[in-house]
Amino acid sequence: MRTKASETESIEIRLLVEAIFQRYHYDFRSYSMASLKRRLNQALLHFHCESLSHLQDRVLHDATMLPQLLGYLTVQVSEMFRDPLFFKALREQVIPHLRTYPSLKVWIAGCSAGEELYSLAILFREEGLDARTIFYATDINPDALQKAEAGVYALDRLPQFTTNHQLSGGKSSLSDYYTAAYGNAIFDKSLRRQAVFSDHSLVSDAVFAEVHLVCCRNVLIYFERTLQDRAVGLFQDSLVRKGFLGLGSKESLHFSAHHRAFTEFVREQRIYQKCG
């Protein structure tokens, strides 16, 4: 039997996300509860609120709190070439298929601060496909999109990025793509020449383009099953026949309503191909 304290907290969370939805139209109502609760408890400390009801009161009346609160409601943990073997599999097994198209569109759904976008832009340049590719980098968090567009990362993250890039089968040196200044690595703006940054919600928005590859890694784990199904449905509708979907290393379509629409293309790297 759950305790009254935990029942009360669940009620407060549901009311808070409902308030945020009605007031600001950000919809977290179908996010996974357990992780949402952790992040909201961190937000309580940050905003010096005694309870989630108190936080709700404040955020309803003070719109300036929203951007920071969004930083807690969305998870922004990523790195460049995260799970290098995923990128290696993309390079070795997916790129040969993509090469056959005269023009390409790639959707990075839930791009956060852009680590995945720059990883793909570098990979596509190394493979000589960058000039014919448009990258759509979408997220619901305006701060994250701004960071993605800036392409600036703390220099102390670069050793990890560099190792990942090498393990992914990188054909160049990562240092070719950034300039170090004031403790930051500033990535070459030519990498985002072909990128479109846009606010897009997997909860409420529709398909906006026909794409050949969707990368949506470690985003779906924060959604409840129904919302996962909606998101994968969008990817399915957006992908060309035989298009590719890349998920996080522990995500799968195993429990998805759409699993029959895809085949496992590189099973261990969670790369799926839409059926023809």
Q: Using the minimum distance from each CB to other proteins, give the nearer residue, 83 or 126.
A: 83
We find the least distance from the C-beta atom of residue 85 to other proteins, in angstroms, to be: 7
Q: Using the minimum distance from each CB to other proteins, give the nearer residue, 13 or 140.
A: 13
Q: Using the minimum distance from each CB to other proteins, give the nearer residue, 124 or 161.
A: 161
Task: Confirm if 209 and 136 have CB atoms less than 8 A apart.
Answer: yes
Judged by the rule CB under 8 A, the positions of this chain that interact with other proteins are 1-6, 9-10, 32-35, 37-39, 75, 77, 83, 85, 218, 220-222, 224-225, 228, 248-252, 254-255, 268
The separation between CA 82 and the C-alpha centre of its own chain, rounded to angstroms, equals 12
We find the least distance from the C-beta atom of residue 202 to other proteins, in angstroms, to be: 16
Contact residues for 83 (Cβ-Cβ < 8 A; gap 6+): 217, 248, 249, 269
Query: How far apart (Å, rounded) are the C-alpha atoms in residues 228 and 213?
Result: 18
Q: Using the minimum distance from each CB to other proteins, give the nearer residue, 17 or 104.
A: 17
Q: Using the minimum distance from each CB to other proteins, give the nearer residue, 150 or 221.
A: 221
The answer for 274, left when phi > 0, alpha when psi is -120 to 50, beta otherwise, is beta
Q: How does 78-116 read in b/e, with b if 16+ C-beta sit within 10 Å?
A: bebbbbbbbbbbbbeebbeebeeeeebbbbbbbbbbbbb
Residue with tokens 């509860």: 33
Q: Using the minimum distance from each CB to other proteins, give the nearer residue, 35 or 146.
A: 35
- The string of DSSP letters for 199-257 reads E--TTT----S-EEEEEE-SSGGGB-HHHHHHHHHHHHHHEEEEEEEEE-TT--STT-T
We find the least distance from the C-beta atom of residue 271 to other proteins, in angstroms, to be: 14
Q: In what order do the strands lie in the sheet with 133-139?
A: 195-199, 133-139, 104-109, 211-216, 239-247, 271-274, 262-266
We find the least distance from the C-beta atom of residue 260 to other proteins, in angstroms, to be: 18
Q: Using the minimum distance from each CB to other proteins, give the nearer residue, 86 or 178.
A: 86
